[in-house]
Structure 1
Amino acid sequence: MNEQRDMFSIININNKNPDSDIPKDVKLRPKELWCPYCSKPVIFIKDKELGVRKCPYCKVSDRDYNVKKINKKWL
């Protein structure tokens, strides 16, 4: 019998090589950031314990170098 798959098993997460650019056909909505590890636009969720925002799929922080670089979020 075939193994049942849920939606989280087909989501592209943890790229070995994070994206270096946002695809040209993607338009981010307000509050969305591009997650270079998931390769998709996401709304980062605030982690109350650590005080940072994290991707809900791969749990990478918005303070990660690649997240800042691709979204041009340098201070």
Structure 2
Amino acid sequence: MDKPKVAAKAPAKVEVEEGKKYAWCSCGLSESQPFCDGKHKGTGFVPVVFTAEKSEACYFCQCKHSANGMLCDGSHNDLPDDA
């Protein structure tokens, strides 16, 4: 698998909690989008693990094409309809 699967063409709004760790799915295969459930094994992809610095709403990329990594930058708007 050389390219991630587009899980959705819209960001996932998640209220993160200060100090809590999260693992964002980078492959698009997880059934627990936008977070990792281990389905990346054997694909060459790994989750992006981070700790929330503050409690706030975050918009996580689900198309897996954002230039902002795990945070949505609107790239899903430029994907072809069949992506």
Whether TM exceeds 0.5 here: the answer is: no
Identify the structure with bigger relative contact order (alpha carbons < 8 Å, sequence gap 6+).
2
Higher strand share: 2
Higher helix share: 1
Larger radius of gyration: 1
- Using the size of structure 1 for normalisation, the TM-score is 0.26
- Using the size of structure 2 for normalisation, the TM-score is 0.25
